[in-house]
Amino acid sequence: MAQKTALEDVQVLDLTQFEAGTSCTEALAWLGANVIKVENPKGGDQGRGASTDTPGVDSHYFMLLNANKRSITLNLGTDRGRQIFTDLLKKADVMIENFAPGAIERLGFGYDVVQKINPRIIYAQVKGFGEGPYENYVSFDMIAQSVGGALSLTGTTETEPLKPGPTIGDTGTGLHCAIGILAALHQRERTGRGQHIKVAMQDAVINFSRIAFARQAASGKAAVRSGNRSALGTTAPSGLYKCKGGGLNDYCFIYTTRAGNRHWDRLLKAIGRADLIGDERFNSPEKRWTHHDEVDRILSEFTQSRTKAEVMKMLGDAGVPAGAVYDTMEITQDPAIQKREMIVTVDHPKRGKFTLPGWPVKMSESHVAVDRAPLLGEHNAAIYAEWLGLTARDLEELKGKDVI
């Protein structure tokens, strides 16, 4: 008997596009939910064509964000399309959208309408901003990172603010939304009622930046960019150290806790400088911070004659937090990461072999194999028959009227 998955009985109508919303529904799909992308027949999710290298073929961007989903086409701008969507809503557990502000309401499917159609539905929305003067502004990841404080914290005071590489404004917001949906589904078990979930991208980035607010609370001033050094300014080492090789990413990040000297003492033993244990300049995290230039000099002497992998292994084996700077290709080719299905290769009907990151949450009683993203409308026949009992002839008629 096949193992059941955590969310296999959860039906999700996914009206999301680009990244913030699709990250949410991809997470739900990887937890076993039946996620159905409801897409415009003319082009579908805008992410399909945006930045594609081959016209008419789904972009790599889209394929990375829509694994394990199914796709139907439906024109919500038609009366028949809206009626069909209404019928689908009656059978759904979750509906989620991240259109521009006001778009879903103009289509006639605001929360006030949908909750009357299905009082048990979890209705989730991802927007750029929460209630306030900017709530009708459109947003993308870099906008959310800017107004959420991430840019102000990234880089150094000698540089302009920098956009962090990971898309925490998009994917980070999507994951916050998924958490809310899971909580709402659990609450529904007690109340029998659905609810309205709203997540603002700005707010999600603020939540990711909580440690910076600790520095503000301690200093009474806005947190400033500290580069690779400790965000709280309370310990050293905390930074990148150049390693042998001379490549763009031949560095290792080394950190010792601000909660005592145990990491520092282990570090000194590992690099052959046990003579510095107890040295007055370095015998507390605060003193090491005061003398961080000397700390950097000592560590650089050690790292520059070794590769980043060697440095990470030597320090990691000694119980010191250290991480080589891996690029995306090194991550993709790492056998251990592949073995735990964090990097997976799937077969795509138009792209062939395609490699993508998998789902990091490993559950002993719920395993969902990573599957490819769907083609536009690929599951029309199966889903419309399963959910609404529509026949092939019905679908041909709807297609002829530009409904699907």
- Catalytically active residues are 170
CB contact set of 391 (below 8 Å; sequence gap of 6+):
385
Are 286 and 234 in contact by the 8 Å Cβ rule? The answer is: yes
Q: Which two tokens stand for residue 206?
A: 């603020």
Residue 105 token pair: 């309401």
d(CA 313, CA 306): 11
Quick one: tokens of 255?
A: 């950190």
Q: Where are the beta strands (DSSP E) in 101-192?
A: 122-127
- Do residues 62 and 354 touch, judged by C-beta distance below 8 A? no
Strand locations in 340-391 (E): 343-348, 352-357
Q: Which residues on adjacent β-strands are paired with residue 198?
A: 125
Q: Which residue has the tokens 């310990």?
A: 235
d(CA 101, CA 126): 9
3-class secondary structure, 120 = coil
Helix (H, G, I), strand (E, B) or coil at 353: strand
> Could you give the C-alpha distances from 61 to 47, 221, 314, 349, in angstroms and in order?
7, 39, 37, 16
